[in-house]
Amino acid sequence: MPQAQNTAQSPLPREAPIDRDAVDPELLALPAPPRARRLFTMTLMALVVVMAMGLVFTVRHDLAYWFAPSSTIDLGDVSSVDHGALVPNSHVRVRGTPMLSRAVRYRRVLTGATYEVFPLADQRTIYVQVPEDGEGLARSEFSGRLVTFGQLGGRISRVQGYLHDDMQLPVSSDSFLLLADEPPSSYWWAWALAILCALFVAIDVLLLLRWFRPLRDRAS
């Protein structure tokens, strides 16, 4: 007599508990991130931060001039100006005769605008910069920003060198340059540039901090 088959199924083995501290072998098999690329990216981000801060430092005098009083200080005739009482980075007005034989023309790289720089007669301490519009050399009264050559830095260094070496004028970093037709309100661009640089610095710093932030252990 045939025996009845046992149709009852044997119980399945229970799944082993998941060890969350174990290392996934598939993750270990993944290639490691390229260190050279990571180092290059971090170096580039750090350079952006340094360059942005350096750019803000170069326009610090332009930022300060934006806060200068809008009222104009009348210096009178340039031949009677007390040079020891001149205040750099102020809005002034002065009268004098341009020396056409000592005029130097130059072009700004970023804007492409052309300017002329020349001394005023009977003195060698105050120079004037005017836009090349055909009327600057015909004027005898100039108003604008009074600044030293040293405060402008590299923006005017070649002109300063040409006046000193080729024109044989006693120009130094302490000599004054009157940037005609440039009131404090015209320097809004300096603040726009500073804000843009600050945004670049903030974004790069946040990315660097996020890069080095330790990962959180996600517990189920």
The encoded tokens of residue 151 equal: 């405060």
Nearest-angstrom CA–CA distance, 61 and 148 = 10
Nearest-angstrom CA–CA distance, 15 and 214 = 32
CB atoms within 10 A of CB 28: 7
Along the 220 residues of the chain, how does pLDDT read in single tens digits?
555 555 555 555 555 555 555 566 766 666 666 677 777 878 888 888 899 998 899 899 999 999 888 889 999 999 899 888 899 999 999 999 999 888 999 998 877 889 999 999 989 899 999 998 767 677 899 999 999 999 998 888 899 999 999 989 999 999 999 999 999 999 999 999 999 999 988 988 888 787 776 655 544 4
**Residue 93 bridge partners (DSSP):** 74, 143
Nearest-angstrom CA–CA distance, 92 and 180 = 9
Domain extents in the chain: 55-67+184-210, 71-76+86-182
With H, G, I as helix, E, B as strand and everything else as coil, classify residue 210.
helix
Whether the pTM exceeds 0.75: the reply is no
Nearest-angstrom CA–CA distance, 135 and 125 = 23
